[in-house]
Amino acid sequence: MLLLAAFSCLAADLPDPALTPGVINPDVTQANISSTVCVRGWTKTVRPPASYTKRLKKFQIRQYGYADADPRDYEEDHLIPLSVGGNPTDPRNLWPEPRKSEWNADRKDELEFAMYMGVCHGEISLDDAQRTFATNWIEACKRYGALLQRYRYGSAD
């Protein structure tokens, strides 16, 4: 059993909802997941180029007012992941996620994979997965512990 509830959450572990509320990709719906997000390699077809995300990360580090301004200490991450229909390029769905934290980018990646698998196996709806990330992905780690256990150590492409 995962004991995720014992960890504390730093303010930067979740994005500022005024700056990064999360935005969905209107081209992805529950009706078409078998031809979009659930197709292996699909996210590569919509992922923005690194030149875009690097530039945005530097801007958003300043916008967020992080004391640590080193871009290497952050992953420019989609709040609502591409693997569950997050918007690929809208800055309101991207934020500089800290790497040096208990609730870091690697922890969120674990949840992303579990939720992706849950959506593609019909265990959770696309809307519920998107809402989960847009509201509080850390709380979702606690709530979806069984899903995390079932789909450990994978990655949504």
Whether 1 is in a domain gets the answer no
SS3 32: helix
In a domain, 11, yes or no: no
For residue 65, tell me if it sits in a domain: yes
pLDDT at 116: 96
Confidence (pLDDT) at 143: 86
Residue 2, pLDDT score: 28
What domain count does the chain have?
1
Q: What is the mean pLDDT of each run of 10 residues along the chain (157 residues)?
A: 35 86 98 98 97 97 94 96 98 94 88 94 96 93 83 64
CA 148 → CA 11, 26, 96, 125, 142, distances in Å?
A: 23, 27, 24, 16, 9
The predicted model scores a pTM of: 0.88
Q: Encoding tokens for residue 51?
A: 């030149």
Which two tokens mark 62?
């300043």
Give the residue numbers spanning the domain of 86: 20-26+33-150
Tokens of 99: 């790497």
2: in domain: no
Determine, yes or no, domain membership for 5. Answer: no
Look at residue 7 in the predicted model and tell me its pLDDT. Answer: 36
